Copies of this chain bind each other. A is one copy, B any other.
Amino acid sequence: MESVNLADKLRQFDETWTPKVVAALNGQLVKLAKLEGAFLWHDHAEEDELFLVISGRLRLEMREGDVELGPGELFVVPRGVEHRPVALPTAEVLLFEPASTAHTGDVVSDRTVSDLEWI
């Protein structure tokens, strides 16, 4: 019966590009992440991915055009759409995606976090 305070959770970690799980429902996870600068181009073949910006600014670069998000703005990257998140210069975001989603998609790099931590 514990509620989740997003600001409290965000104070619990500093690492960038390392999503932390804060809630699960219906096979989906709610994650928080701190972003800085540019991530890598990737896609998720089977999964749509929602980005909701809590603070800062985020550009989602896509081959068909970019979307820029500020606090209180969200965007769903459809499955199969290659994207590169770029924080301008930093952002705190809430992610909503299936429990099966790896944050680097089909690209495995040294930035891939395979064991997601719950906070």
Contact = CB atoms under 8 A, between A and B. Distances in A.
Interface string A63-83: 011011100111110000000
A22 to B, nearest CB: 8
Given A23-B50, A25-B50, A50-B23, A3 B96 contact: no
B6 A76 contact: no
Interface string A91-117: 000001110000000000000000000
B64 A1 contact: yes
B69 A47 contact: no
Q: By CB atoms of chain B within 10 A, which of A48, A62, A65, A67 has the most? A: A48
B28 A96 contact: yes
